[in-house]
Amino acid sequence: MAIIYSYPIGTPSAADNLLGTQVDPITEENKTVQFGIGAVSTLITQGYLETTITLTQAQMLALHTAAGVVQLLPPPGLTNYYKILEASTAKIGAAFAGGAVILAQINNVTQFSLPTGTFTQAGTVVASMTVPFANGTIIGVNGALTTSLATAITAGVGSTYAIKIRYQILDASAF
């Protein structure tokens, strides 16, 4: 067998295979087998959910009002919590003006924020957010994830603002 660094570097696809070791459940011996990259990817992201919500210009202009609050995720269930893993945004079209940081909250507890730079720059802007957890505690049983904004956004004719959220639903009664 050649030295590993002598092999060429390739770009993997979901249809490719990896070599690995699998424990035989009967004999408890290690077997060298092939694993599909697609199957490994599915195993790694098992239990992760992802959704994209696209806010129109009208919704962005109304975000600072009580009537303009947008529900990003509905309540997950009586004993369930959202664990927000990642949030990304894409603003397409003209820049919005004004406004402040958009907060994504569950029961008035901020899960992540969307800085003004993600919607006030011209052209297409794609950004990734840091998702904070206060002391590692996930707050908000059965709470919807909603938006709030302190000051009005103006402008942004024909623009949209998409928010992609990756999350898990944790059931406190089934840990």
Q: Give residue 110's pLDDT.
A: 86
What is the pTM assigned to this prediction? 0.76
Query: Averaged in consecutive runs of 10 residues, what is the pLDDT profile of the chain (175 residues)?
Result: 81 89 91 90 84 94 91 94 92 90 89 90 88 70 90 87 94 87
110 and 123 assigned to the same domain: yes
Both 142 and 89 in a single domain? yes
For residue 88, what are the β-bridge partners?
128, 164
CB atoms near residue 98 (< 10 Å): 16
Structure tokens at 71: 């529900």
| DSSP state at residue 56 | -
86 shares its domain with 121: yes
Indicate whether 25 and 74 sit together in one domain: no
CATH assignment at residue 156 = 2.60.120
Instruction: Report phi then psi at 62, rounded to 5.
Output: -100, 0
pLDDT (0 to 100) of residue 49: 93
**Residues 38, 76: one domain?**
no
Please tell me whether residues 38 and 115 are part of one structural domain: no
User: How many separate domains does the chain show?
Assistant: 2
User: Are 91 and 119 contained in the same domain?
Assistant: yes
Residue 130 has a pLDDT of 73
What pLDDT score does 135 carry?
62
Q: How high is the pLDDT of residue 133? A: 61
Q: Same structural domain for residues 40 and 54?
A: no
80/127 Cα distance (integer angstroms): 28
Question: So what's the pLDDT on residue 77?
Answer: 92
Beta strands in the chain (DSSP E): 17-23, 30-36, 49-55, 71-73, 80-92, 96-98, 102-106, 109-114, 125-129, 145-148, 153-155, 160-171
- 115 lies in the same domain as 54: yes
**Whether residue 101 is found in the same domain as residue 151:** yes
Expressed as residue numbers, the domain containing 141 is 49-174
Same-domain check for residues 38 and 98: no
Kindly state whether residues 166 and 122 are assigned to the same domain: yes
